[in-house]
Amino acid sequence: MTTPARSLNFIEHIIEDDLKGGLAPKKLKFRFPPEPNGYLHMGHASSICLNFGLGQRYGAPVNLRFDDTNPAKEEQEYVDAIKRDVAWLGYNWDQECYASDYFSQLYDWAVELIRSGKAYVDSQDAETMAVQKGTPTQAGTNSPFRERSIEENLCLFDEMKRGLHPEGSHVLRAKIAMDHTNMLMRDPIIYRILHRHHHRTANDWCVYPMYDWAHGQSDYLEQISHSLCTMEFTMHRELYDWFLDQIIQPDLVRPKQREFARRNFSHTVVSKRKLLQLVEEKYVSGWDDPRMPTISGLRRRGYTPESIRQFADTIGIAKRDNLVDLSLLEFSVREHLNKIAPRVMGVLDPLKLVIENYPEGEVEWLEAENNPEDESAGFRQIPFSRELLIEKEDFKEEGNKKFFRLALGGEVRLKNGYIIQAVRCDKDENGAITCVYCTYDPKSKSGSGTEESLRKVKGTLHWVSAAHALPVEVRLYDRLFTDPTPDSHKDVPFLSLVNPNSLEVIQAFVEPGLAEAQPEDRFQFQRMGYFVVDKDSKPGKLVFNKTVGLRDTWARLEATENGG
């Protein structure tokens, strides 16, 4: 099987250059390194598809590494969710690793640094150290503890480890240079005291390594060849390399950090901290609320792993930050669901329709094609009877040239059924239409081959038989934020921009054949969009989430607003 040719992205160019420069192909190895402090989101999907995509392209292993160095924010629940989401996206990791597995090794290496005079214990408070850091244009000043003796440093660091000192009383710092042009190199902290319970190491540790000390060394321990991260780490690369220099052994792979642009998406936020706020302050029902940009939210919304991978592939990776339009993701899922989702009929806003010349009490089972895009999907039977439900918006007393639906005196075809003509309607005291009366042409049945069945009428409506229809709950979603960039406004908190109308719950009626549908089963409700069975469904009480409409209504709305 050949994969369609695609030009190399800049990361692949770097890898190709390394291979040309002598790196053995079997030494290629990647990792995806989430911090288990929240659920994965669409931005992570980009990074997952990048790393695992490289693994597939080069036949190289990819580790799943939990960057669990901050016990204050990390939890087992998040570890479990992350594993579930990566697997659901369709990727198999080589090893499941944890930075916390390396705590002993990292500690030993830190002791080595002290022994070689390259690290010291600083006993000042955070504010004082911050002031001593200097500014980008001004050198920092040395800490009065910078020249502590090796013995004293070893003794203090050991005491820190044994829990003899309170949080904030001491830190271990690398001794690099306080006048370095890169501020991150001005004696960075490598260990801090935290008297916290860790989700894996429990109370074994009272000192925890900082990200910079843990990350590169973990890459090295796992022999990762290319450590890809987002661009806010560009300035950290120098430190990453300095730390590696302290431990590197000949004949082992030296990991290389390279950076790519963080993805932002329109009409949502992708920062775990902000997503956690949406959850904790109950703007949404949880991390997997179908409005959330999390992988588990997208799954519950009816997205397929294929569509998310396709989307990540389409947007690719970049060197500059940019905003990706959410409608691109919607396009991907629409395209995939069009191929795989069985068609069914469901009426979201019912209006009763009576066929006056259809025999009372009679039920006919009509044959309907499950998916015109997939012959193997076969056919099903749907009941037809004298009283049906149609969509309210599909009937008007008076139509016009642009109204291809049902109007008094006009004709339409009922999908998979007959041609009907509207005769009259009932209204309530407010003038709202409550029932439409029609006649049907018994010879016009779809697929019967008669002349009448082949007759073209301009509109086709979906419907369900009133007596057979299955009442279901349907949850309709709009964007969680109507603002395209909710977290980019200086004076407006993003939470104040949550769309108050992002969820509408209605009762709808679907074909009876759906009674056995299971959570995560996806369907196209013909003419209405794609829907998925929600996990809140109970026997006899199905709940559907609307995944996406059949067309991009937002693009249309925006075009209208712009006068297009």
Identify which of 69, 50, 47, 48 has the alpha carbon closest to the alpha carbon of residue 58.
50
What's the number of CA atoms in the CB half-sphere (13 Å) around residue 238? Answer: 12
Q: Which of 65, 256, 272, 343 is catalytic?
A: 272
411 binds, among Mg ion, ligand ATP, none (CB under 5 to 8 A by kind): none
Shortest gap between Cβ of 21 and ligand ATP (angstroms)? 24
Chain residues that interact with ligand ATP, rule: CB under 6 A: 33-35, 43-44, 46-47, 67, 229-230, 262-263, 270-272
Closer of 280 and 375 to ligand ATP (Cβ) = 280
Question: 428 and 384 in contact (C-beta within 8 Å)?
Answer: no
Q: Which of 29, 35, 148, 186 is catalytic?
A: 35
Q: 529: left (phi > 0), else alpha (psi -120 to 50), else beta?
A: left
Give strand pairing partners of 259.
Answer: 229
Q: Which of 118, 262, 380, 415 is catalytic?
A: 262
Q: Is 31 a catalytic residue?
A: no
C-alpha 361/C-alpha 59 separation (Å) is 64
Residues whose CB is less than 8 angstroms from the CB of residue 294 and which lie 6 or more positions away in sequence, other chains included = 39, 40, 41, 42, 85, 275, 287, 288
Closer of 275 and 514 to ligand ATP (Cβ) = 275
Q: 481: left (phi > 0), else alpha (psi -120 to 50), else beta?
A: beta
Shortest gap between Cβ of 303 and ligand ATP (angstroms)? 17
Closer of 81 and 344 to ligand ATP (Cβ) = 81
End-to-end C-alpha distance for the chain, whole angstroms: 44
230 binds, among ligand ATP, Mg ion, none (CB under 5 to 8 A by kind): ligand ATP
The H or E element spanning position 340 is helix 326-340
Map tokens 């198999």 to a residue: 92
Shortest gap between Cβ of 39 and ligand ATP (angstroms)? 10
173 binds, among ligand ATP, Mg ion, none (CB under 5 to 8 A by kind): none
343 binds, among Mg ion, ligand ATP, none (CB under 5 to 8 A by kind): none
Shortest gap between Cβ of 325 and ligand ATP (angstroms)? 15
Q: CB 296: neighbour CB atoms within 10 A?
A: 21
Q: Is 272 a catalytic residue?
A: yes
Using alpha carbons only, what angle is made at residue 228 by residues 177 and 189, rounded to the nearest 5 degrees? 30
SS3 282: coil
Chain residues that interact with Mg ion, rule: CB under 5 A: 35
Closer of 228 and 389 to ligand ATP (Cβ) = 228
289 binds, among Mg ion, ligand ATP, none (CB under 5 to 8 A by kind): none
217 token code pair: 């060394």
SS3 326: helix
Nearest position to ligand ATP, beta carbon: 43
Closer of 230 and 482 to ligand ATP (Cβ) = 230
Shortest gap between Cβ of 85 and ligand ATP (angstroms)? 12
Closer of 208 and 554 to Mg ion (Cβ) = 208
Nearest position to Mg ion, beta carbon: 35
Q: 157: left (phi > 0), else alpha (psi -120 to 50), else beta?
A: alpha
Shortest gap between Cβ of 241 and ligand ATP (angstroms)? 18
Return the active site residues.
35, 262, 272
